[in-house]
Amino acid sequence: MKLLSVLFSFTLVFSISSAMGAEIDLTDTDGLTAHNAVIEVVEFKGKQALKAQISEEARKALAEARRQRQAGGEANRVDHLVLVEEDFHNGTIELELSGQPAPGAFGGARGFVGVAFRVQPDLKTYDCIYLRPTNGRAQDQERRNHSVQYTSHPDYPWFKLRRESPSKYETYVDLQPATWTRIKIVVEGEKAQLFVHGVEQPTLIVNDLKTGPDASGDVALWFEGSTVAHYANLKISKR
């Protein structure tokens, strides 16, 4: 009877712990894997945070990709990821993040920053939801409408989704660059919802994740090469 009680207590504690989620320490780079990125722990806007920027090798690759694009060739996209968790299928990802254009960034830089999930071992195949912080308060309605974006690499980049399904995978939310923004992403099968600023209703609803209902993979912090990104208070709940 005592053994059953102990087992029940353990199961209950484990279930509660799983439901509450696991805090991922972003104040120590040990255990984090940077891909085409350099990372460091800094103080940013009152918080201990992980700072991520493009690596020098990736910067050269990005410059070459742009050169090919300008020459009319096939440009290779450069992925920038910080891998933080393995074996994610369904669950919730919560964190605070901030993005801003890097010094000297090109005119189209928006401070792109977000989260990739179900990342495959090739580090090129994944779903992603990200923010364009400089669009949030732009004095142009069309830019504001592109404040939040879902994409799925490599087959469904943002421009393909925008061209084939205008407004379906992006929307507006109030954002500012270089400012902490709290987000929550809830993933269930082939559906995902993004919640911003702690509101009860989702800002973005995706009903057809391109990786499909059964995919699983890593969770990664995501940013674009023209961005200086910061992340804090990451919690992942898997189910």
Q: Is residue 109 part of a domain?
A: yes
pLDDT in tens, 179-237: 999 999 999 999 999 999 999 999 999 999 999 999 999 999 999 999 999 999 999 99
- Residue 136 in any domain: the answer is yes
pLDDT of residue 70: 73
Confidence of residue 6 (pLDDT cuts 50, 70, 90): very low
Confidence of residue 116 (pLDDT cuts 50, 70, 90): very high
Tell me whether residue 13 is in a domain.
Answer: no
Question: What CATH code is carried by the domain that includes residue 82?
Answer: 2.60.120.560
Predicted confidence at residue 208, as pLDDT, reads: 98
Nearest partner of 224 among 122, 84, 108, 118, judged by Cα: 108
Return the pLDDT at 64: 81
Q: Does a structural domain hold residue 176?
A: yes
| pLDDT for res 68 | 78
Evaluate whether residue 111 is within a structural domain. yes
Kindly report, residue by residue over 179-194, the tens digit of the pLDDT: 999 999 999 999 999 9
Q: Is 17 a member of any domain?
A: no
Question: Mind giving me the DSSP string for 193-209?
Answer: EEEETT-SS-SEEES--
Q: Can you give the residue range of the structural domain that contains 116?
A: 22-238
pLDDT recorded at residue 20: 56
* Distinct helix (H) and strand (E) counts, the chain: 4, 15
Q: 76-79 — which CB contacts under 8 Å span 24+ positions?
A: 77/153, 77/154, 77/157, 78/36, 78/225, 79/35, 79/36, 79/123, 79/124, 79/153
Q: Is residue 8 part of a domain?
A: no
Total of domains in the chain = 1
Question: CA-to-CA distance for 220 and 32, rounded, in angstroms?
Answer: 9
137, two tokens? 């308060």
- Could you tell me if residue 39 is inside a domain? yes
Cα–Cα distance between 233 and 239 in angstroms, integer? 20
What is the percent of the chain with per-residue pLDDT over 90, rounded to a whole number? 81
Determine the average pLDDT of the residues in 12-17. 37
- Could you tell me where the DSSP H helices lie in the chain? 2-20, 56-70, 141-144, 158-164
Round to whole Å and give the CA distance between 93 and 113.
15
Q: What mean pLDDT is predicted for residues 55-69?
A: 84
